[in-house]
Amino acid sequence: MPELYFADAGEAADLAAFLGRLLHYDRAAAVRLQAQAGGQALAVFGRPPSFEVLAIRAARLLKPYENGIDDILDVTVSAGELLESVDESGATAGVPAAVTGPPWAGVLPPRGGWRRVEGFPAADELRGLVKAAVADFRGRVEELAAEARTRAALDRIGRDIWSREISVGAAPEPVRMPVRVAHAAVSLGFLRGSSVDLLAAGAWLRLRTAYGSVAVRRGATGGLGGFGVMPA
């Protein structure tokens, strides 16, 4: 089993926490791992189904990966098996056997070409927007009679709330980010502290913080399209 050596125990613990959150939303979650040959950073991609976004967590490596991987590391594995292999005290993890990747794993954001979107709301404002949206969701659900709280009804409410957009920039082409991206960042533990940026590259948007990123493909009708309803 190829071995990963993290820069410190904190990096291993943060990765384990991220994997745990993904598994909270999907016990059969898969993640795609990428690292360059000789590189000292690991990128972990996952997709929490309740949000229909791509979550990205980077981990610093103490030294390049080894034991069977000579070129690049690019493999999709079980998130649960990877979590089980993480040794936080030893700051290591084994790379599990590859699994058949879900469709989203073949459609990742570009590595370069990102530009920062000026005028994006601060972290506190984003957290406030998410808190208000969650309260709105719960309030509207509570207004329904018990027998009317069907999955279809919850989906309609969720679609209405999480499809709302944060518009940045002036007409005729402002950048519009779905509120569900910020919701995912909060729920995954990424939207902490005060550092947050919105980046754009082609059809992709990426909300970036010091703890991880959430990406979404604009105009997607499948794959990363759709809207989650869980209020976290």
Is residue 138 in a domain?
yes
Q: Which of 10-24, 75-89, 166-180 has the lowest mean pLDDT?
A: 166-180
pLDDT digits 0-9 by tens, 50-67: 788 999 999 998 876 555
Q: What pLDDT does 146 receive?
A: 92
Residues 86 and 173 grouped into a single domain? no
Q: In which element (H, E) is residue 44 found?
A: strand 41-46
Query: Could you list the residue range(s) of the whole structural domain that residue 50 is in?
Result: 3-100
Q: How many CB atoms within 10 Å of residue 21? A: 20
Residue 106 included in any domain: no
Check whether residue 81 and residue 146 sit in a common domain.
no
Number of folded domains in the chain?
A: 2
- Whether 224 is in a domain gets the answer no
CATH code of the domain in which 57 resides = 3.10.150
Same domain? For 89 and 153 the reply is: no
Phi and psi torsions of 135, nearest 5°? -65, -40
DSSP state of 71: S
> Cα(190)–Cα(184) distance, rounded to whole angstroms?
8
Q: Are residues 78 and 127 in the same domain?
A: no
Instruction: Tell me the whole-structure pTM to 2 decimals.
Output: 0.87
- Average pLDDT in the 125-141 region? 95
Q: Are residues 11 and 96 in the same domain?
A: yes
